[in-house]
Amino acid sequence: METAVGNFVKMEQSIRAKLLTAKALSKEKAVTIQEADFDMQEQNWLNYVAGGLFAEVKKTTDRRYYITNQR
């Protein structure tokens, strides 16, 4: 059984990978859910992954997403 932290990390990695593929590397290049091709599970996790002060996945006011740190 996976832990909550394990689920979070797995979904964060999946979301980051799709944003990297979409080249959403800054606020100006942020993409929509459709442009990033997030599946339903990733969409459900977006508010958790992109919600924190120190989160690397960020959300714009018009609901587009991008990553701030390309590890």
Contact of 32 with 64, CB cutoff 8 Å: yes
Q: Is 59 left (phi over 0), alpha (psi -120 to 50) or beta?
A: beta
How far apart are the C-alpha atoms of 66 and 19, rounded to whole Å?
6
Per-residue pLDDT tens over the stretch 19-61: 999 999 999 999 999 999 999 999 999 999 997 888 999 999 9
57: helix, coil or strand? strand
Tell me how many domains the chain contains. Answer: 1
Query: What residues make up the domain containing 12?
Result: 4-67
H or E segment and range at residue 40: helix 40-49
Using the predicted structure, report yes or no on whether residue 1 has a pLDDT greater than 90: no
Instruction: State the pTM of this model.
Output: 0.88
